[in-house]
Amino acid sequence: MSIVVACRCGKRFSAQPYLAGKRVNCPECGSPIAIPTPQPDPQQTPALEPLGTSSGDDFWNETIASTPTSPFAGKTAPASPAFGVSSPSKRQFKVWPFVVAGVVAAVLILVCGGGFLIWSKVSSFVGQEREWVSTLPEEDYADVRRSFRTDLVQRGAPPQEWEPLSTPDGAKRIDYRSGNLTLAAFVDPPLSDDSERPGLLFLHGGFAYGDGDWEMAQPYRDAGYVVMTPTLRGENGQSGKFTLYFDEVGDVLAAADALAALPYVDDEQIFVAGHSAGGSLAALAAMASDRFRAAASLSGCMDQRLNADIAPFRQSDEREFQVRSPRYYASSFKCPTRLYVGSQEILLASSAEGTATRARKAGLDVQAQRIPGDHFTSVTPAIRHSITFFRRHLKSGFTPRMTLPPIATPEVPSFEPPTFEPPTFEPPTSPVTPPTIPGPSSPSYTPPRPPSFTPPSHPSFSQSRAVVVFEILGYEGRMPKRSAARHALIRIPWVDPVRIEVNESAGTLTVGVRGRSVSTAAAKSALEQAGFQVGATTYKGQ
């Protein structure tokens, strides 16, 4: 509201409220005018002529140079600020709630959109998987394997260090043909009577052969089987390229034929068993041929997508994984089969149980069984279970001859009590030593003990549970840590590639030890090249 002021010259004017308490010059006579404080009741203020004209504006600017704006109101609106300056707003507009709401909405849209994309991808994958699985009963593994041509992008030896082949004690070496390859195998020699016995093809774990693989199969020999442990293409410096369970299946079938051709083996009683990688091949061989009376897989992998880090083929082709994975052809088993897995092998157990379930739906005698223990501690009890299982599928009325020497029955000498006359008794006058009664001494007998089986010390069946623990300070690689570590360490001789575990919470990488010579420097260097930042290294013997 305007303030009414009067000059001594008789002129009355109105001034803006911000001039209250100041002194200005009258535009008419130039006399100073004191601007009073406005009265609280505006109704007592009469309508007055606005203060200032165009000449007054010039006069005002000259006399009060320090004032940034004119003290006069407009000519027609006394309440308006001078020179058209607008009044400040009585309510400030708040923008931040709308900004926060917009950010929240954007985050929700991104989360929902990302979730939808992930759900779409998963649904698409599951849909494709179900669509593929629904066609499995119509395809037989043997037919698929004959028609499929694998596309290898890596052509070389298996991804594992090896030593030159040597014939284990108690075995003889033979060579067998697989296609255009000549490969080595080790087999039991015949007994002295040259009688026919059931044959068992035992497939070793890992991707190289060692003496421990021969020792692992000892319980089958003790049960009366002629055991053959073959080497496969590319292993231990032999000819052939590693294909990860494709062409190797042909090697297994060729080795089975070589075992059946031995004159002291009953060619109608051929069994197959294997551990780890050999377990996968045992299952595939049981689907590829009707040669076997029964099969046992010990900790075999039924889905080779778990081994993608060592796959030598084009991984963009899902079919490459499928033709190497028994779970995709579960209706193709051609003999009774048992899939034994350690209770601590969660992924292998789940895959094996799914394979067995689908095989039983097809009317096949296939079962999965969890054995207490891990990938190694479950092997010995699993072998015992498989021997019991195989016994049910031997020829009717046939009992395998035990290779253990029979326990001899000792000859106990006959005993006849001697005759003697009791001595006459006279009261002694001094202490008398009691007479010694003659007679033969009792024979002592200690029955012979059968030979005991000592678990082997080879890497694939380690008697020692020693490990090396690497402290992981960081990782900059693109692969999952376990896959990267396995890929980096698989060529280190003392490393057991199956026993590689990553503990995210503890920040450690635990590597199983096989053999007796351990050099952590090469392993640490390989891990660092794979993107790991390695700290302290600890050896734990068990």
Output 181 or 496, whichever has higher pLDDT.
181
pLDDT, position 1: 59
pLDDT, position 416: 45
Residues 434-456: pLDDT tens digits? 555 554 444 444 444 444 444 33
| CA distance to 47, 494, 522, 523, per residue, from 526 (Å) | 97, 13, 6, 5
pLDDT, position 533: 92
**Percent of the chain topping pLDDT 70:** 71
Average pLDDT of every residue of the chain = 78
129-132: Cβ within 8 A, 24+ apart: 132/318, 132/322, 132/328
Least confident of 18-22, 108-112, 138-142, 483-487: 18-22
Is residue 412's pLDDT more than 60?
no
Residues 158-190: pLDDT tens digits? 988 888 999 998 999 999 999 999 999 999 999
pLDDT, position 177: 97
- pTM of the predicted structure, to 2 decimals: 0.56
Is residue 133's pLDDT more than 60?
no
Q: Integer distance in angstroms from the first to the last C-alpha of the chain?
A: 96
Residues 320-377: pLDDT tens digits? 999 999 999 999 999 999 999 999 999 899 999 999 999 999 999 999 999 999 998 9
Question: Average pLDDT of 126-142?
Answer: 58
pLDDT, position 65: 38
DSSP letters, 262-325, are STTEEEEEEEEEEETHHHHHHHHHHHH-S--S-EEEES--S-GGGGGGG--B-TT-HHHHHTT-
CB 188 within 8 A of CB 224: no
Residues 290-315: pLDDT tens digits? 999 999 999 999 999 988 889 999 98
| Domains along the sequence of the chain with CATH | 3-84 (no CATH), 141-391 (3.40.50.1820), 464-540 (3.30.70.100)
DSSP letters, 197-264, are EEEEEEEPSTTS--HHHHHHTHHHHHTTPEEEEE--TTGGG-SS---SSSHHHHHHHHHHHHHHTSTT
Residue 84 pLDDT class (50, 70, 90 cuts):
very low
Residue 128 pLDDT class (50, 70, 90 cuts):
very low
pLDDT, position 240: 94
Strand, helix or coil at 395? coil
pLDDT, position 264: 94
Is residue 318's pLDDT more than 70?
yes
Residue 520 pLDDT class (50, 70, 90 cuts):
confident
CB 74 within 8 A of CB 51: no
Is residue 500's pLDDT more than 60?
yes
For residues 275 and 216, give the distance between their C-alpha atoms in angstroms, rounded to a whole number.
9
The pairing of strands 508-513 and 495-503 is antiparallel
Dihedral Cα 475, 479, 485, 486, nearest 10 deg? 170
pLDDT, position 253: 98
pLDDT, position 483: 74
pLDDT, position 94: 66
Q: Give the closest residue to 292 by CA, choosing from 322, 270, 318.
A: 270
Residues 197-223: pLDDT tens digits? 999 999 999 999 987 899 999 999 999
